[in-house]
C-alpha cells in the first residue's frame, strides 16, 4: 500500500466516523442540525476566508459541517425535498447547475487548469441551499427566532479583524453585514433597533479598515431595498432612536470640522481611506482605483468571448482568464471574471448563466410580491445584497461567499418565515413552514419574536 492510498483510507475512515457520529447525534439530540449549522456559519461570519480554508483541498471543514447538518436532519427534509411547492423552480435550477458542473469539472481536470475541483461548488452549493431551505420550511418560527443572535456575528468578525490584524476579505464581510442589515431594518420596523445599530457600526468599521466601495455599497443597497419594500406597503420605520441620531450628528460634525480645518482627506475618520481612493480614481489615471471598473469590463468581455466558443458547456472549471489591459497581460492563474453571473456563463456555459439570472430575478419578484410580510422584505433586501456582491466580485465561485449566498437565495425563494397567502388572510401567525399556530398575545405585543411569528397587520404605525 502506497502512502497516498494510506492517506485516502485514513480520510475515508475519518469521514465514516463523522457520519456515524452525526447519525447518532441526530437520534439523541433533537437540535443536532441547528447546532451543526451554527457551527458551520458562526465561525464563517467571524473569521471569513481564514475559516473557510480549513481543510485539505477540495474538502473543507465548513462544507463537511454543512453536509453533516443536512444528514442530521435528513428524516425531516427528505420526504419533502422533491414535493415542496415553494421550491419547485429553485429545485429545477439547482439540479441543472449540478448536472452541468460535472462535465465542467472533468474538462478542467483534463486540461490541467488550476484547482478545477473547486468548481464543484458551482453545482454543489445550489443543491445545499435547496435542501437547507426545505429543512427550514419545516421549522417553527420560534426556533428560527432563537438563532437571531447569529446576525450580530458579522460585526464582531470585523472587530476581530481590525483589532488582531487578521487578513480580511472585505467583499465577504460586506455580504455578511448586508444580510444582517436587511434583517436589522426589518426588526427596526418591528420596534427593535439594536441589530440595525450594531450593523451600522460594523459597516463603519469595515469601511475604515478596507476602504473598498463594493462592500459598503452592498450593505447600503440591502438596507435601502428593505426599507423601500417596507414603505411601499405602508410600514413606517418610525423615529430613529436617539442614539442613532446622535451618531449621525457626530459624523456630520466630524466631516464638517475636518473640511474646515483643511487637513488631508485621508485623516477623515471612518471614510478617509475610501475618500482618498475615490479621489485617486479621478485625479490619477494610472492608479488601480481609476482602472478598476475598466479592468472588470475587460475581464467580462474576455470571459463572454471565451464562453462563446463553447456556449453550451463553457470554458471548464478552473480556467483562468487571459486579459490584456493597457497593453499589460494579466494572466493570474487564479483570476476570475469578478462577476458571478458572467462567471457561471464562463465556466458552465450559457444555459447555466441564464438559469442563474432567471432564478435571481424570480427570487426578487417572489419576495417583492410578498412584501406585506416584514420577513419577505428582509429576504428581498438580503437578495439585493447578494446581487451587488455577485456583480462586482468573484462571489458565488468561492466557498466563503458562495455558501451563505446560496443559503440566502434558497431561503428567499422559498420565503422562509412568510405564511402562504391563504394562511396570511386568516389573521393567524404562521410558523416557518406555513402552519398556523395560536396568536401570541394582543396586537400591542411587538417584540423581536414578531419577526417570524406575527401576522400581517394593516396598520404598522
Res 446 pLDDT > 50: no
Distance between CA atoms of 460 and 456, rounded to whole angstroms? 9
User: Average pLDDT of the chain?
Assistant: 77
CA angle 172, 254, 249 (to 5 degrees): 85
Over residues 381-391, mean pLDDT:
95
pLDDT at 431: 43
- What pLDDT does residue 231 have? 84
Assign 162 a pLDDT band (cuts: 50, 70, 90).
confident
* Alpha carbon distances (Å) from 173 to 169, 198, 390: 7, 14, 13
- In angstroms, what CA-CA distances link 184 with 220, 320, 401? 12, 38, 20
Query: Higher-confidence residue: 112 or 237?
Result: 112
Q: What is the pLDDT of residues 230-286, one digit of tens each?
A: 887 655 554 444 445 545 555 555 555 445 444 554 444 444 444 454 444 455 455
Q: Which of 106, 95, 7 has its CA nearest to residue 56?
A: 7
Mean of the pLDDT values across residues 292-297? 74
Among candidate residues 31, 35, 28, 39, the one with its CA nearest the CA of residue 61 = 39
CB half-sphere exposure, 285, CA atoms < 13 A: 1
Helices 170-189 & 399-414, crossing angle to 10 degrees? 30
| Three-state SS at 458 | coil
Dihedral over Cα of 358, 361, 367, 372: its sign? negative
Bridging pattern class, strands 323-325 and 59-60? unpaired
- Measured torsion, CA atoms of residues 331, 334, 338, 343, in degrees rounded to the nearest 10: 100
Question: Each residue of 30-86: pLDDT tens digit?
Answer: 678 888 898 899 999 999 988 888 887 778 889 988 998 898 888 889 999 999 999
User: How many other CB atoms sit within 10 Å of the CB of residue 286?
Assistant: 8
Amino acid at each position: 500500500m502506497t502512502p497516498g492510498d494510506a492517506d485516502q483510507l485514513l480520510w475515508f475512515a475519518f469521514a465514516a466516523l463523522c457520519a456515524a457520529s452525526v447519525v447518532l447525534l441526530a437520534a439523541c439530540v433533537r437540535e443536532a442540525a441547528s447546532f451543526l449549522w451554527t457551527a458551520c456559519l458562526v465561525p464563517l461570519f467571524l473569521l471569513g476566508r481564514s475559516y473557510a480554508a480549513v481543510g485539505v483541498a477540495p474538502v473543507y471543514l465548513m462544507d463537511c459541517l454543512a453536509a453533516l447538518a443536512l444528514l442530521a436532519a435528513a428524516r425531516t427534509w427528505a420526504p419533502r425535498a422533491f414535493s415542496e411547492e415553494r421550491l419547485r423552480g429553485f429545485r429545477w435550477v439547482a439540479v441543472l447547475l449540478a448536472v452541468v458542473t460535472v462535465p465542467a469539472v472533468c474538462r478542467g481536470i483534463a486540461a490541467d487548469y488550476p484547482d478545477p475541483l473547486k468548481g464543484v461548488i458551482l453545482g454543489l452549493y445550489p443543491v445545499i441551499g435547496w435542501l437547507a431551505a426545505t429543512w427550514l420550511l419545516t421549522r417553527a418560527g420560534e426556533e428560527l427566532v432563537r438563532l437571531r443572535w447569529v446576525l450580530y456575528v458579522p460585526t464582531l468578525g470585523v472587530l476581530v479583524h481590525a483589532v488582531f490584524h487578521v487578513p480580511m476579505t472585505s467583499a465577504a464581510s460586506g455580504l455578511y453585514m448586508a444580510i444582517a442589515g436587511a434583517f436589522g431594518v426589518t426588526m427596526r420596523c418591528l420596534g427593535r433597533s439594536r441589530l440595525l445599530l450594531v450593523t451600522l457600526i460594523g459597516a463603519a468599521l469595515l469601511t475604515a479598515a478596507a476602504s473598498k466601495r463594493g462592500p459598503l455599497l452592498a450593505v447600503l443597497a440591502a438596507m435601502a431595498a428593505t426599507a423601500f419594500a417596507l414603505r411601499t406597503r405602508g410600514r413606517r420605520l418610525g423615529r430613529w432612536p436617539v442614539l442613532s441620531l446622535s451618531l449621525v450628528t457626530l459624523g456630520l460634525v466630524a466631516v464638517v470640522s475636518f473640511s474646515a480645518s483643511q487637513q488631508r482627506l485621508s485623516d477623515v475618520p471612518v471614510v478617509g481611506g475610501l475618500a482618498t481612493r475615490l479621489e485617486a480614481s479621478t485625479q490619477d489615471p494610472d492608479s488601480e482605483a481609476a482602472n478598476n471598473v475598466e479592468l472588470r469590463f475587460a475581464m467580462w468581455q474576455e470571459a463572454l468571448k471565451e464562453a462563446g466558443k463553447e456556449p453550451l458547456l463553457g470554458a471548464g472549471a478552473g480556467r483562468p482568464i487571459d486579459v490584456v489591459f493597457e497593453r499589460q497581460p494579466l494572466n493570474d492563474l487564479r483570476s476570475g471574471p469578478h462577476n458571478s453571473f458572467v462567471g457561471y456563463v464562463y465556466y458552465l456555459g450559457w444555459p447555466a448563466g441564464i438559469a442563474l439570472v432567471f432564478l435571481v430575478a424570480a427570487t426578487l419578484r417572489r419576495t417583492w410580491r410578498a412584501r406585506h410580510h416584514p420577513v419577505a422584505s428582509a429576504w428581498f433586501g438580503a437578495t439585493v445584497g447578494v446581487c451587488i456582491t455577485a456583480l462586482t466580485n468573484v462571489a458565488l465561485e468561492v466557498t466563503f461567499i458562495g455558501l451563505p449566498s446560496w443559503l440566502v437565495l434558497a431561503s428567499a425563494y422559498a420565503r422562509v418565515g412568510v405564511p402562504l397567502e391563504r394562511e396570511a388572510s386568516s389573521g393567524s401567525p404562521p410558523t416557518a413552514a406555513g402552519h398556523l399556530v395560536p396568536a401570541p398575545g394582543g396586537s400591542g405585543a411587538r417584540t423581536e419574536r414578531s419577526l417570524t411569528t406575527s401576522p400581517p397587520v394593516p396598520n404598522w404605525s
